[in-house]
Amino acid sequence: MSEKIRINRYLAMAGVTSRRKAEEYILSGRVELNGEIVLSLATLVDPSIDEIALDGETLRSEEKVYFVLNKPTGYITSVSDDKNRPTVIDLIKTNKRIFPVGRLDYDTTGVLLLSNDGDFANALLHPSNKVMRTYEVKLDKPFENNHLEPLLKGISIEGGKGKFHSVKIDKKNPRFVTVECTEGRNLFVKRMFRKVGYYVEKLHRSKFAGFTVEGLKYGAWKNISRQEIQNALKKYNHL
């Protein structure tokens, strides 16, 4: 008999999604344990003998895979879309059931990780780990230095106070700004700039958790090695 683990962690290990999203699946009655619907997040399972199913499909742990995609505009960061719009999953050629690690907006480009490793996703997305993100921003007008301080010290936006770790202004063209932050909230960068009077015309994530899309065209992807994954996890104290 193997060690029992929480059912949301098992869903993550089975490549379904991150642990946090797995909790939503459980609470909505989509998960069964040995033929019975599970609604308690505290439920423990023994992977060696228990049968766990999602939406009626029995789950099995599978080999973990990791990809980095240079996300183009016009793609939804989701596994599926009820409006039949193209998703980032459509761009990756794999027979594994993968999901995006976090999200980028429909019109945002750049680094997007995809995997079937829920523990890895949880490590990079959990706010307490403060995983760094770098964005290249094009504004609707030149950035003025007097707006720098509030962005660095903190601004009240939806969901609580937010701030950038660093802000670098292009001296030749101050409409272009590079920011670093550890925030993963939806539309965070756009909302921050809107608070100080700017609209973001273009947004590109150039780095996430140390991963980049250097050498990749929009829509192109590559495999991430296990060593690179281990290095990332070590950095955030998860190995």
pTM: 0.79
The CA distance from 192 to 151, in Å, is: 7
Q: Of 22, 15, 25, 207, which Cα lies nearest the Cα of 114?
A: 15
**Is the pLDDT reported for residue 90 higher than 90?**
yes
Q: 18-66: per-residue pLDDT in tens? A: 777 888 999 999 999 999 999 999 999 887 788 899 998 888 777 889 9
Structural domains of the chain ordered from first start: 5-58 (3.10.290.10), 66-127+211-235 (3.30.70.580), 132-208 (3.30.2350.10)
Q: 115-157: per-residue pLDDT in tens? A: 988 888 888 998 888 999 999 999 999 999 999 999 999 999 9
Which are the catalytic amino acids?
105
Q: Of 96, 106, 122, 121, which Cα lies nearest the Cα of 190?
A: 106
